[in-house]
A and B are shown apart, each in its own frame.
Chain A
């Protein structure tokens, strides 16, 4: 895929910014040993709230905490460093979908969580999901990121990179 300079700049910036957001959320939770997703899960609302409430109350809550932290950090690192960006972006969409569905900004739901703005169906989780979709299908890691080495290595192995 050919990008203009500006296209590449903004796509890569988007990738790094979303990655930053994921990584920071993950690290803050690691550094705070008291953190748990329990309250967040137990306060779930909307059509799927039964599932999240069950999860929050079950023995799996601890596993959910660990998976959430690992996913946030993994996705964050992949996006910032630029490696496996497509896998990371799709995993990010899945994670955000869980957040979105557990507290959907639907009219009439009071417990949608503390927020600094006003949302109707569309909230920042949904927008970030769309951004991740863009990143999944407009790759930049092979141009700006670790993907650059991976690509060259792959090309070398495939014998496509011709050296003089």
Chain B
């Protein structure tokens, strides 16, 4: 009886028990929707504000037609690498990769794009290198001297990967006979030949490219757009670095077992360098001596200078100072292994978000050690933001920014979380809005190339050069860029040797020398103690 009375109420209660989960599902739905809407809005606001156009890798160039006949001059480590990018790998390299269990390198070589090139000549003063190329590649003929190669009708273009002191003389000779030139950095070894090479390039119809392959790195092209859109505001300081801590990084290369006066054309190696007796160490570790190499300023700072010049187009510095010494590899070398350069650009500006005239001028700083490999990244420091630049690109708003003041105050932007990150491999541009994403961004995991094809920027740089030869398209590191790179490096070398601030005269386009100073002589001088002598 009592059961009958209670039954409708009981049924309702039981129904409620069955549906107890429903309100919770509703709660989660509302919560997730609101949260994702908030994130999307924040992201859209930031991207709308920045208006950055992320550049995509360009579509492939037309490489059809007869192959371009290329000769390699200087077939050592770097030369062999460039020739591999052109499509020619030595069997000994393949064997070495197998031995080192680096099958990935072999696979990457097999999969790399065919640039439609014929390797028709090799010129190397070390018999072993030259003979290996001749034995491995059927069309490849050995030329004893570069002049012989340049005068050959079988050669359209040359890749120059010699020691630095041969870059300009060979480039000039090649351009004068109309052969296209791809020359490794630094473009020149002294001041005089920098002018001579510029003259030769201007007067030649041949295509000239300096081997700063990072100009092909897509993040750098996007970085240019970011600067143009004034995302960082006025950039007052740029910090670049080299950090290495191994023998190879300190230019202690292996000395080949077959090296001898019989297998090396020593006189030709020396070229315009001071005559000294045969010396294996000078031959294989030439980067350690001013007579053939350029020290950290020409060898590695040029990379960073050109990277930044590619993004900012700041050109020649007004003043350059340098410091450093031989602190980590006191093994008889002449060039410093710890080295700092500051370049002053008093009139340069990337734009300002503050009152007119208050912001102008920039310092480019390069700092290097060959005795520690802690990763210091390249950083462009602006009033409104900071750009960390590498293969990927990350931007942080500055807490003191004028441009982003409102967005920071309204919590749309958090200064410790990147407002923009760019990865050429990713599907989409992202404004990172969570700490987790930042964690992965910091680790570089959002943009590893593990699954995709990794294209060597050197290949793209060579391809651009070959495309220019075929179709007359522009190159990204031509004579003007090379001139600025080489002259800036020479100013750095001079500043270190002289221990004083070196000044550039922009009207006459020359480095200002004091009366009686022969700057080229100072730049190439072998006296290590010279600069300390000037200090005292």
B interface footprint on A41-66 (CB within 8 Å = 1, 0 otherwise): 01100000000010011100100000
**A12 and B428 alpha carbons, distance in the complex (Å):** 42
Evaluate contact between B17 and A20: CB separation under 8 angstroms.
Answer: no
B interface footprint on A20-38 (CB within 8 Å = 1, 0 otherwise): 1001100110111010000
Evaluate contact between A82 and B439: CB separation under 8 angstroms.
Answer: no
**A40 and B434 alpha carbons, distance in the complex (Å):** 14
Interface residue count on the B side (C-beta < 8 Å)? 33
Q: Does A159 contact B (CB under 8 A)?
A: no
Q: Does B12 contact A (CB under 8 A)?
A: no
Evaluate contact between A145 and B24: CB separation under 8 angstroms.
Answer: no
Evaluate contact between B428 and A77: CB separation under 8 angstroms.
Answer: no
Q: Does A76 contact B (CB under 8 A)?
A: yes
Evaluate contact between A42 and B25: CB separation under 8 angstroms.
Answer: no
Evaluate contact between B445 and A20: CB separation under 8 angstroms.
Answer: no
Contact of A43 among B21, B22, B445 (CB under 8 A): B445
Q: Does A131 contact B (CB under 8 A)?
A: no
Evaluate contact between A148 and B18: CB separation under 8 angstroms.
Answer: yes
Interface of A is mostly: helix
Query: What would 12 A/B residue contacts be, using CB atoms closer than 8 Å?
Result: A20-B28, A28-B35, A31-B33, A61-B451, A80-B21, A80-B24, A81-B22, A82-B18, A82-B20, A147-B18, A148-B17, A149-B18
Q: Does A114 contact B (CB under 8 A)?
A: yes
A126 to chain B, nearest CB (A): 20
Interface residue count on the A side (C-beta < 8 Å)? 36
Contact of A12 among B20, B27, B40 (CB under 8 A): B20
Evaluate contact between A27 and B32: CB separation under 8 angstroms.
Answer: yes
Evaluate contact between B18 and A16: CB separation under 8 angstroms.
Answer: no
Evaluate contact between A144 and B20: CB separation under 8 angstroms.
Answer: yes
Contact of B21 among A34, A57, A114, A146 (CB under 8 A): A146
Known interface pairs A43-B440, A58-B451; A82-B21 also in contact (CB < 8 Å): yes
Contact of A80 among B18, B25, B427, B428 (CB under 8 A): B25
Evaluate contact between B17 and A23: CB separation under 8 angstroms.
Answer: no
Q: Does A19 contact B (CB under 8 A)?
A: yes
**A77 and B427 alpha carbons, distance in the complex (Å):** 31
Query: Which A residues lie at the B interface, using CB under 8 A?
Result: 12, 16, 19-20, 23-24, 27-28, 30-32, 34, 39-40, 42-43, 53, 56-58, 61, 76-77, 80-82, 111, 113-114, 143-149
Q: Does B448 contact A (CB under 8 A)?
A: yes
A9 to chain B, nearest CB (A): 11
**A102 and B32 alpha carbons, distance in the complex (Å):** 26
Known interface pairs A42-B445, A57-B450; A20-B20 also in contact (CB < 8 Å): no
**A24 and B32 alpha carbons, distance in the complex (Å):** 6
A148 to chain B, nearest CB (A): 4
Task: List B282-323 residues whose CB lies under 8 Å from chain A.
Answer: none
**A80 and B313 alpha carbons, distance in the complex (Å):** 60
Residue of A nearest to B19 (CB): A146
**A106 and B427 alpha carbons, distance in the complex (Å):** 33
Evaluate contact between B443 and A111: CB separation under 8 angstroms.
Answer: yes
Q: Does B436 contact A (CB under 8 A)?
A: yes
Contact of A145 among B18, B29, B440, B446 (CB under 8 A): B18
Evaluate contact between B428 and A34: CB separation under 8 angstroms.
Answer: yes
Evaluate contact between B17 and A81: CB separation under 8 angstroms.
Answer: no
Q: Does B518 contact A (CB under 8 A)?
A: no
Evaluate contact between A143 and B21: CB separation under 8 angstroms.
Answer: no
**A147 and B28 alpha carbons, distance in the complex (Å):** 21
Known interface pairs A28-B35, A31-B36, A81-B25; A39-B446 also in contact (CB < 8 Å): yes
Q: Does B258 contact A (CB under 8 A)?
A: no
